[in-house]
Structure 1
Amino acid sequence: MEKIIKLENVVWRRDGEEILKDISWEVDHGEHWAILGLNGSGKTSMLNIIMGYNYPTAGGVSVLGTEFGKASLPEMRKKIGFVSNALGKFQQTMNRETIENIILSGKFASFGIYEEITSEDERRAANILKDLRLEYISGKRYAVLSQGEQRRVLLGRALMSQPELLILDEPCAGLDVLAREDVLSMTESVAEDTLPLLYVTHHIEEITDAITHVLLIRDGEIIAKGPKQEVLTTENLSAVYKIPVRMHWEAERPWMSVERPQKESR
């Protein structure tokens, strides 16, 4: 069975600077990965390569059976559901649309509907609204929704095309605790349906029970990768965040605190 993602010795340079350095990583069927790292660590650069928006300077890439350089990357992208703050650049367009239209637009990877919608499409969108517990805002425009509701609508849009891989790039950024937990609950439900998931975040407490594996990246290099119980250690997290931390498990989720130096007694 083909790997969901296979990166072999990937290097990516921009303006002469090496952003990604010898990245090798595989994602198998049945695995759900979290990707952790500081801003500027290379997380977004790696996602852009996986999505086919950037081409590696060196190394091999295969995503969903598409080997880069030998097949159509636009066709590959249609198989990927994507939720990111980067979609905020389409905010003005989305604000004018109903939530149903935004979800339906996911079939065409567009913002706005410019192709024919079938009755089957409408049934699928209605089922997504139900599954994501969004029926209570049916018919409302995107502009009047809370941030948490907007993220759930974008998750519904990503699911509309029945993707073979779902990428969530910091989906809880800027949300309060209640909205965050709601989005995480929705994410767990999606992962239970066996849809492969990549979840990118700064915050280890967002790694729910549904996540099976973790990749840690620092300065364009992989620090650790593998099953989450093996990777999420105090030593590894201190290395990736460049500061002494302490981590522990609670209610099947990891939590972390910064280790502050003790003051000398006088």
Structure 2
Amino acid sequence: MDKIINIEDVKWIKGGQEILKDINWMVKSGEHWAVLGLNGSGKTSLLNIVTGYNYPTMGDVTILDTTFGKASIPEMRKRIGVVSTALERFDATLNNQTVEDIVLSGKFSSFGIYQEVTDKDRRKAESIMADLRLDYLHGKYYRTLSQGEKRRAIIGRALMTEPDLLILDEPCSGLDILSREDVLGITESIKERESHLIYVTHHIEEITDVITHVLLMKDGEAVVSGKKEDVLTSENLSDIYKTPVKIHWENKRPWLSISSK
């Protein structure tokens, strides 16, 4: 599988409004991408195309060798893991579950375990917890965790299915700096599990060394895409953020400051 995502000339129109405009985007095997843009830039709409929850008004989409209109979208979704703050609506259910059961539930795409769990499943969940530095929370209930620990537990849940594509949609939203760095610190283990990572944010300092490529979104358009060192320039970011900014690199991560006009 050479191409993980291949989107060609895609438009998405809703209520007569063109939300996505002539999107072209290719993610190749072995690449890990960040999708960057302001709120309302089209990031979520693009994700909904990738996961098959929105169907393009025009254009061609192939995700994980599944060409839209020619293959099963539900089967494709089984190969994609999604972590989003939208999952917080299930907190009432999650609160009374242990961390290991939350990770295990990912096998069944459920919130709670209602099917038989094998010893092999438990060993796999324990391995994921160890990789994500969650093993010290064994037996702890979700409601007792910090926000950063909760996000890592949900990421662990997504990894139970060994997804070919893992989408982290603003996973650090609402976290303090310590919890944020805790979540960002596990991206290396995601890479080692051979999932292709799509990290969606509007904060460039969340783009860790694991990310190889960046797509910049603005007003429903894919403005620039390519290797992160080429894309993350002061000029490009001033354009998508609609204000003058400067970028500098520290510890292999980009950082942003507002430039005087």
Question: Common fold, TM-score beyond 0.5?
Answer: yes
One-letter amino acid of the structure 2 residue matched with residue 253 of structure 1: R
Tell me what 1:129 maps to.
129
Q: What is the percentage of aligned positions where both structures have the same residue?
A: 63
Distance of 1:135 and 1:212 partners within structure 2: 29
Shift of 1:189: 2.3
Measured in 2, the distance between the counterparts of 1:243 and 1:110 equals: 43
Partner of 1:264: none
What stretches of structure 1 move > 4 A for 4+ residues in a row?
A: none
One-letter identity of the residue aligned with 1:104: L
1:192 Cα shift? Answer: 3.7
Counterpart amino acid of residue 170 in structure 1: E
The gaps in structure 2 that reach 5 residues or longer are: none
Secondary structure in 2 matching 1:243: coil
State whether residues 2 and 64 of structure 1, in contact with CA within 8 Å, keep that contact through their aligned partners in structure 2: no
The 3 A distance-change label for structure 1 pair 192 and 123 is: closer
Partner of 1:156: 156
In the TM superposition, what are the counterparts of 1:93-132 in structure 2 within 5 Å?
93-132=93-132
Are the counterparts in 1 of residues 37 and 240 from structure 2 also a CA contact under 8 Å?
A: yes
- Matching of residues 148-227 of structure 1 within 5 Å: 148-227=148-227
Against the structure 1 CA distance between its residues 193 and 124, is the aligned structure 2 distance closer, same or farther, given a 3 Å change threshold? closer
Cα-Cα RMSD: 1.0
- Structure 1's unaligned 5+ residue stretches are 262-266
Equivalent position of 2:260 in the other structure: 260
Contact 1:188 1:208 in 2 (8 A): no
Give, in angstroms, the shift of residue 2 of structure 1.
Answer: 3.6
1:48-98 CA distances to partner (integer Å, 9 max, x unpaired)? 110111111111111111111111111111101111101111111111211
In the aligned structure 2, how far is the partner of 1:194 from the partner of 1:134?
20
- Letter in structure 2 aligned against 1:30: G
- Give the counterpart letter for 1:235 in structure 2: E
Is the CA contact 1:98–1:140 (under 8 Å) kept in the aligned structure 2?
yes
The 8 Å contact of residues 192 and 210 in structure 1, kept in 2 or not, is answered as: no
Provide the C-alpha distance between the structure 1 equivalents of 2:198 and 2:122, rounded to a whole number of angstroms: 27
Query: Aligned partners of 2:222, 2:173: CA distance in 1, in Å?
Result: 23
Query: Structure 1 residues 68-77 or 218-227, which shifts more?
Result: 68-77
Equivalent position of 2:47 in the other structure: 47
1 CA distance for matches of 2:118 and 2:112? 15
Question: Distance between the aligned counterparts of 1:133 and 1:222, measured in 2?
Answer: 35
Q: How far apart, in 1, do the equivalents of 2:221 and 2:115 lie?
A: 42
Cα deviations by residue, 1:204-251 (Å, 9 ceiling, x for unpaired):
011111100000000000110000000000000000000100101111
1:15 aligned partner: 15
Q: Do the aligned residues in 1 keep the contact of 2:164 with 2:194 (CA within 8 Å)?
A: no
Q: Is the 8 A contact 2:166 2:196 kept in 1?
A: yes
